[in-house]
Amino acid sequence: MKAGRAPQERRRLTGKDRTLEHGLDGEAVAALLGGAVLKGKEPDVILRRALIDPGVYANPDAAIDGPSLVRLVREIQFSLDDVYLGFMAQECRMALETERLLSFLNCATFGEALRVSIRFTNAMSTDVGPGIVEEHGAGLQHICKYHTVPGVDRDILVWIRFVWIYHLFSWLIGRPLALREVSVRAPRPLQRNGFDRFALFSCPVRFEAPLDALSYDFSDLTVRLVHGSIQEYDDYYASAPDWFAAPAGEPSWRERTQQVLIELQKAGLWSAPIEVVAARLRTRPRRLRHDLALEGESFLDIRTRLRGELASAYLLGSDTPVTAIGFALGFSEPGSFSRNFFAWAGMAPSAYRAAYANDAAKVAAATALLKTRRIA
């Protein structure tokens, strides 16, 4: 089986894309075409085949939308027969991409698919070096290394690969991935039209970081895949997905449960029983346990994790004394808070604050979390 290009829409080229107030601007479009240009391809030809007005090319006052971006990337890939858009010295043929997909489409969970995908990618090219690192008490960091050729914009490649990874795995599990953080070595990209190309990730983004990485939530790693064939993959691209929009999918039971528990925690109910949460979700406790289990989750784990996340956010995002944090989070005794926090994070609250007080990324994430979940 071979993954084919998505059918092109049967419409005439118009100036629609060029008049967008928001979207990926023409300078970024030119950067995406950089590898193809180095290999002697005419950008106007590729843009027309992707149903994009060639006048967008290198024009900071023009832009394309999310479906146009998908068509452009696919057209560059097929024009060069190269997954990495001509940015690497060693080409990675599209047939290898199909084999890589086949290697993990039949995996049971996202975590398993991620590990299989990384192993296969490492075998495909010496110019790409992905890896995974566990973040203590937080999640899994997916580090990506790209060794590009001179004359191309490495930063745009990192961005488009992160977009592809995010949308692909969100599609595989049937809902948006709960990214904890995106970190990139590049500075924040600025466009004249004000479009933020990183906003689609819906998580904190750290620019000028020491490495390029996506950070996943541990709870996503056990979520089962809902798609498992190349045909479904081809159908996904044929549907002209919008890569600037949140991935499609209904909120998971984990997300719904978390939202109800957060509301109850704000009201001071820290150990809400599953019966109360199930009633708010208009389901039965037994059914809620079952649906959460299908997503690789448990009610008690979610409740404990939310409390621990908020505790760590207070420790790094505020100057509140440890004892006061414990009382604010419903612990009647300081010792009880310390024991519970140690069980969650593997260290005492004061040690956690000392260990990460100078970690700018963790402090920023903690501050952002407090803005939405601080207890009044």
Cα(14)–Cα(55) distance, integer angstroms:
10
User: Which residues make beta-bridge pairs with 214?
Assistant: 142, 182
User: Which residues make beta-bridge pairs with 141?
Assistant: 133, 215
HSE (side-chain half, CA atoms, 13 Å) at 119: 8
Tokens of 44: 């106007």
SS3 content of the chain, % helix, strand, coil (to 5): 50, 10, 40
Cα(68)–Cα(52) distance, integer angstroms:
7
Pairing of strands 179-183, 205-206: parallel
**E strand map for the chain:** 24-25, 63-64, 131-135, 139-144, 179-183, 205-206, 212-217
| Eight-class DSSP state of 131 | E
Tokens of 41: 């391809």
Q: What are phi and psi of 335, to 5 degrees?
A: -65, -35
* Cα radius of gyration (the chain): 23
Q: Distance of CA 299 to CAs 12, 255, 261, Å?
A: 52, 11, 10
User: What pTM was computed for the model?
Assistant: 0.64
Cα(175)–Cα(338) distance, integer angstroms:
35
Instruction: Please report the pLDDT score of residue 2 as a whole number.
Output: 42
Q: What angle do CA 192, 44, 191 make, to 5 degrees?
A: 10
Instruction: Please report the pLDDT score of residue 165 as a whole number.
Output: 93
The secondary structure of 141-185, three-state, reads EEEECECECCCCCHHHHHHHHHHHHHHHHHHHHCCCCCEEEEECC
Q: What three-state secondary structure class fits 188?
A: coil
Instruction: For the chain, report the end-to-end CA distance as a whole number of angstroms.
Output: 57
Cα(319)–Cα(68) distance, integer angstroms:
47
Q: Distance of CA 243 to CAs 166, 214, 310, 364, Å?
A: 9, 17, 31, 26
The DSSP element (H or E) to which 32 belongs, if any, is helix 26-32
User: Which residues make beta-bridge pairs with 206?
Assistant: 183
Closest CA to 55 of 91, 6, 15, 111: 15
Q: Distance of CA 334 to CAs 163, 189, 351, Å?
A: 44, 45, 15
Instruction: Please report the pLDDT score of residue 219 as a whole number.
Output: 78
Report which residue type is found at 344.
W
Per-residue pLDDT of the chain (376 residues; tens, 9 = 90+): 345 544 443 333 433 444 455 799 999 999 999 999 999 999 999 999 999 999 999 999 999 999 999 999 999 999 999 999 999 998 889 898 888 888 888 888 898 999 998 888 888 777 777 787 876 556 788 999 899 999 999 999 999 999 999 999 998 888 888 888 899 999 999 998 889 999 888 888 999 999 999 999 887 888 888 887 888 888 888 787 899 987 766 667 887 898 889 889 888 899 999 999 999 888 899 989 988 887 778 999 899 988 988 999 999 999 999 999 999 999 988 899 999 999 888 899 999 999 998 888 788 878 877 877 777 6
Tokens of 272: 């809400």
The DSSP element (H or E) to which 366 belongs, if any, is helix 360-373
Please, are residues 150 and 220 in contact by the beta-carbon 8 Å criterion? no
Read off the pLDDT of residues 19-76 as tens digits, 9 standing for 90 and up. Answer: 455 799 999 999 999 999 999 999 999 999 999 999 999 999 999 999 999 999 999 9
Instruction: Compute CA 106 distance to the chain's CA centroid, rounded to the nearest angstrom.
Output: 21
